[in-house]
Chain A
Amino acid sequence: MIVAFSILLPFIAAACIPFIYRRFKNIHLGWFVLVVPALLFTVLATYIPRIANGETFSKTFEWIPSFGINITTYLDGLSIIFSLLITGVGSLVILYSIFYLSTKESLHHFYCYLLLFMGAMLGVVLSDNLMVLYVFWELTSVSSFLLIAFWHHRKASRAGARKAMLITVSGGVAMLAGFLMLYVVSGTFSIREIIANLDIVQSSNLFIPAMCLVLLGAFTKSAQFPFHIWLPDAMEAPTPVSAYLHSATMVKAGIYLVARMTPIFGGHEVWFWAVSGVGIVTLFWGSFNAVRQFDLKALLAYSTISQLGLIMSLFGLGSAALHLGYSTQSVIYTQATFAALFHLINHSTFKGALFMMVGIVDHEVGTRDIRRLGGLMSLMPFTFTIAVIGSFSMAGLPPFNGFLSKEMFFMATVKITQLDIFSLDSVGLLFPIVAWIASVFTFIYCVIIVMRTFFGKIQPDRLEKPPHEAPIGMLIPPYILIGLVVGIFMFPNILGHYILRPAMASIYPTFPSTDEMTPHISAWHGYINTELIMTIGVVIVGVFLYRTLKKWRPMYQIFPQKYSFNSIYERVISSSEYRSDQVTKRYMNGNLTYYFIYIYVFFVVVLAGYMVYADVFSWDPSKDSVIEPYELILVFVMIFATLAILFAKQRITIVLLNGVLGYSVAFFFVVFRAPDLALTQLVVESITTALFLLSFKFLPKLTKEKVSKTFKFTKITISIAVGATVTFIGLAVMNYDEFEPISAYFEDSYNLAGGKNIVNTILGDFRAFDTMLEVVVLFIAGLGVYTLIKLKAKKGDADVESK
């Protein structure tokens, strides 16, 4: 109940924001908003002991039970990590934003979007139902879109928001398809029930497609290679948003999905290679590109991409344990997952602090460009502390928590090379090597953050404001975070025992004991091992490469901007816009003749095509009635008149020939015993002729249209094809006698309706409803003609019709 309430509370609060904003103009809106995540964090934190004892909390609220879609909240070890991160970092970010954003900004928009996002994110991690999870998933995309474009008067903000929206939503739709496949296979939307019926899912043909589609959703959301391009552009958002969404929460939704789906898909070779392979490539590519950035936020964006790749690859490596099944030997591979969860928390702490640090620098100095920064150490000592601790933790140095997770990461990559499944014995060696190289790059950009911002000479003339220390309110949140960075290093096992251990149970539900899977984290193992040597190597090579940075920086010119994924994306977007415009212009050319060609070609292809395909044409001439010679002559008269219309040179000739046709038709009505039709036909024919003559006064002389021979030939072919199709259909249905006609009923019209004229009784009695509406049609036509003639724009009025 409380869990459901915690999802609902941010939405309720978001709805109340406009009223509070109006009521309390003098107080910063953030103070009211801060209550929500702080309260939720406290409430959720009380669950920790019980979760640590292996309890889970679940509650179902019916939403659309007929489709199996119910709002099922589910709180276990994995979701509590995420919900604590969301509410905890959320509180700090809101506190920070109170000092970061001035009251001149449209704060009610900002906090409304932020609360929407927070609620959606809690919904993602606390939902057990796949459909509900998808709903909240898209809600995070939408609210993130709104937050990135918060300063919507800037062009770059709008472009960044659009790009993020496009990429994450396309991934989300792919994920929806994957979820539906899972539903088709398992018959349920509940993740726990799917895990319970794992055999059915894994033996299905849809297993691999569902896996790939779900992964596509996770990779786009978590900015994995090559979908990482939206994250650097999302840095146009206000810094609190970047710190919250694009380092601690939203980009980890994909990670959460991968962790949540590991019990279903993990253990399969495709999953292992997709998750760990994409993760390790992202790790390398992100760190490699971070070094070339000049904007601090862009640097942090690429570093986030890189760290997310690290976490993702660890989840991939950890899934190997599911393939092996439970045994005391395989438990060792679960440590990769443990490291992933550990680094997930660590990353949120130090990355959040770093973003806030950059925000402070930007706020107090006026620029984020490292070429204009320098020498801020003595001016902003407190900010400097944040930067050092955050960066060194990210680089993986002691005594910070990044060191522990980096060590565990190295250990996992080294261990995995000893495995001989999934052809790991041959290419498995790449894992530690790539990881090590990426760590060197990570070290370099971490040093860049600290050295280029705080050391060196200050350039006062290139700064927009005289630099000074930030207000204390802005410093408190990052200090809490770096306090955690150090605290986790000191006491990692408290975190491991209470938070990470229950999460391991969610990822490996089939494994009997979670205690076995929870390693004792220690900073110093008491002996020199491979991981420690790797870390020392990273530091030595990193320092060397940083010193010689100027010499090898031109290496980045080998990869020109033209071939970056960003420009590929831009080109795909602009060329697809151009192409679709071209295609539309080609067939929607405004010429009515072409549209008739499309309609008739479709008609012929579908109808004649079906008749040929199904071979249903049947015609039995023996049932035809006798054709009198005078009827034959009149038919030939009509044929000649019709043909003559095509070659007529004057409009009036056409009308005369049309009159011939009309009168002939009337004669056929007479011959086929339909006196009422004949009468009506004659009158209507005469009136139409008169109307034609009336309108001729306003029409130009008939001119021969100049068209190419091929076009003329096409038109002739199509008209003959249409005529043939209609004729054949007419012949085919003529002998249709499956059922008795109902006309015998109407022959008793005198008794039924009191009239001897069957046609008139049908029109006026049996089927009078049709007649009424036909009268309405005539009425509307009359009104239409009247308005078309009479209603014209008055003198001086805007002529809207000829626009």
Chain B
Amino acid sequence: MIDMILKLSLTLFMFAIALSLYRVIKGPSLPDRAIALDTIGVNLISAIAIVSIVLKTKAYLEAILIIGILAFIGTIAFSKYIERGVIVERKSTD
């Protein structure tokens, strides 16, 4: 029973990722796409957590944490790129 529920929730997460992919592809603006990718990241965190329950292991906790960090950094990088056109700014004297 619990296994079925876990599988079902995984399927739903994937469905959510597919919907977010539609937003990534379709746009129409760049921020839409960036946010969609961020959503995919969040969905992945949840999906991996469920997978680790299914597999009865603690090995994926680092992966979950790292996606959390990276999705944040990635979104920040995209935002900065969209806003300024560059990611790493240099001092104006350069």
Chain A residues in the interface with B (C-beta under 8 A):
628-630, 633-634, 636-637, 640-641, 644, 650, 652-653, 656-657, 659-660, 663-664, 666-667, 670-671, 673, 675, 678-679, 682-683, 685-686, 689-690, 693-694, 696-697
CB neighbours (8 Å) of B27 from chain A are 653
The answer to whether B24 and A682 touch across the interface, beta carbons within 8 angstroms, is no
The answer to whether A634 and B77 touch across the interface, beta carbons within 8 angstroms, is no
Given contacts A633-B15, A675-B60, A693-B81, are A660 and B37 in contact (CB under 8 A)?
yes
Instruction: Pick the residue among A636, A637, A653, A667 that contacts B33 (CB under 8 A).
Output: A653
Min CB–CB distance B3 → chain A (angstroms): 11
Among all A-B residue pairs, the 3 with the closest Cβ atoms: A633-B14, A630-B10, A675-B59
How far apart sit A634 and B47, CA to CA, in the bound complex (Å)?
Answer: 11
How far apart sit A628 and B9, CA to CA, in the bound complex (Å)?
Answer: 12
CB neighbours (8 Å) of A630 from chain B are 7, 10-11, 13-14, 47
CB neighbours (8 Å) of A690 from chain B are 73-74, 77, 87
Instruction: Pick the residue among A634, A641, A666, A686 that contacts B73 (CB under 8 A).
Output: A686
Does B63 sit within 8 A of A, measured CB to CB?
yes
Does B53 sit within 8 A of A, measured CB to CB?
no
Min CB–CB distance A757 → chain B (angstroms): 9
Q: Would you call the interface of chain B mostly helix, strand, loop, or mixed?
A: helix
CB neighbours (8 Å) of A657 from chain B are 24-25
Task: Tell me how many residues of B have a C-beta within 8 Å of chain A.
Answer: 43
Instruction: Pick the residue among B13, B25, B60 that contacts A644 (CB under 8 A).
Output: B25
The answer to whether B37 and A628 touch across the interface, beta carbons within 8 angstroms, is no
Candidate in A636, A650, A657, A660 with the most chain B CB atoms within 10 angstroms = A660
Given contacts A675-B59, A679-B63, are A686 and B14 in contact (CB under 8 A)?
no
The answer to whether A670 and B60 touch across the interface, beta carbons within 8 angstroms, is yes
CB neighbours (8 Å) of A675 from chain B are 59-60, 62-63
CB neighbours (8 Å) of A670 from chain B are 48, 51-52, 60, 63
The answer to whether B88 and A637 touch across the interface, beta carbons within 8 angstroms, is no
Min CB–CB distance A497 → chain B (angstroms): 100
How far apart sit A673 and B37, CA to CA, in the bound complex (Å)?
Answer: 24
Closest-by-CB residue of A relative to B10 is A630
The answer to whether A641 and B21 touch across the interface, beta carbons within 8 angstroms, is yes
Closest-by-CB residue of A relative to B24 is A656
The answer to whether B87 and A693 touch across the interface, beta carbons within 8 angstroms, is yes
The answer to whether B18 and A633 touch across the interface, beta carbons within 8 angstroms, is yes
18 contacts between A and B (CB under 8 A): A633-B14, A634-B17, A636-B18, A637-B17, A640-B25, A656-B33, A656-B34, A657-B24, A671-B51, A673-B59, A678-B60, A679-B62, A683-B66, A683-B70, A686-B74, A690-B87, A694-B87, A694-B88
Chain B residues in the interface with A (C-beta under 8 A):
7, 10-11, 13-15, 17-18, 21, 24-25, 27, 30, 33-34, 36-37, 40-41, 44, 47-48, 51-52, 55, 57, 59-60, 62-63, 66-67, 70, 73-74, 77-78, 81-82, 85-88
Min CB–CB distance B18 → chain A (angstroms): 5
CB neighbours (8 Å) of B37 from chain A are 656, 659-660
CB neighbours (8 Å) of A659 from chain B are 37, 74
How far apart sit A247 and B28, CA to CA, in the bound complex (Å)?
Answer: 89
Min CB–CB distance B89 → chain A (angstroms): 11
Min CB–CB distance A59 → chain B (angstroms): 80
The answer to whether A693 and B77 touch across the interface, beta carbons within 8 angstroms, is yes
Min CB–CB distance A710 → chain B (angstroms): 29
The answer to whether A682 and B66 touch across the interface, beta carbons within 8 angstroms, is yes
Given contacts A656-B34, A693-B78, are A628 and B47 in contact (CB under 8 A)?
no
CB neighbours (8 Å) of A636 from chain B are 18
How far apart sit A689 and B24, CA to CA, in the bound complex (Å)?
Answer: 15
CB neighbours (8 Å) of A660 from chain B are 21, 24, 37, 40
Given contacts A656-B34, A678-B60, are A628 and B7 in contact (CB under 8 A)?
yes
Given contacts A637-B14, A641-B21, A652-B81, are A682 and B63 in contact (CB under 8 A)?
yes
How far apart sit A694 and B90, CA to CA, in the bound complex (Å)?
Answer: 12
CB neighbours (8 Å) of B30 from chain A are 650, 652-653
Given contacts A628-B10, A634-B17, A693-B81, are A641 and B24 in contact (CB under 8 A)?
yes
Closest-by-CB residue of B relative to A663 is B44
Given contacts A659-B37, A660-B21, are A697 and B86 in contact (CB under 8 A)?
yes
How far apart sit A664 and B24, CA to CA, in the bound complex (Å)?
Answer: 14
Closest-by-CB residue of A relative to B77 is A690
How far apart sit A657 and B27, CA to CA, in the bound complex (Å)?
Answer: 12
Min CB–CB distance A682 → chain B (angstroms): 5
CB neighbours (8 Å) of B62 from chain A are 675, 679
Instruction: Pick the residue among B10, B21, B73 that contacts A637 (CB under 8 A).
Output: B21
How far apart sit A626 and B21, CA to CA, in the bound complex (Å)?
Answer: 25
CB neighbours (8 Å) of B57 from chain A are 673
How far apart sit A660 and B34, CA to CA, in the bound complex (Å)?
Answer: 11
How far apart sit A666 and B60, CA to CA, in the bound complex (Å)?
Answer: 11
How far apart sit A164 and B68, CA to CA, in the bound complex (Å)?
Answer: 78
Closest-by-CB residue of B relative to A640 is B21
How far apart sit A685 and B52, CA to CA, in the bound complex (Å)?
Answer: 22
How far apart sit A641 and B23, CA to CA, in the bound complex (Å)?
Answer: 11
Closest-by-CB residue of A relative to B41 is A663
Extra A-B contacts (18), CB below 8 Å, given A653-B30, A660-B40: A629-B11, A633-B11, A633-B18, A641-B21, A653-B25, A656-B24, A656-B37, A657-B24, A659-B74, A660-B37, A663-B44, A670-B48, A675-B59, A678-B63, A693-B78, A693-B81, A694-B86, A694-B87
CB neighbours (8 Å) of B78 from chain A are 652, 656, 693
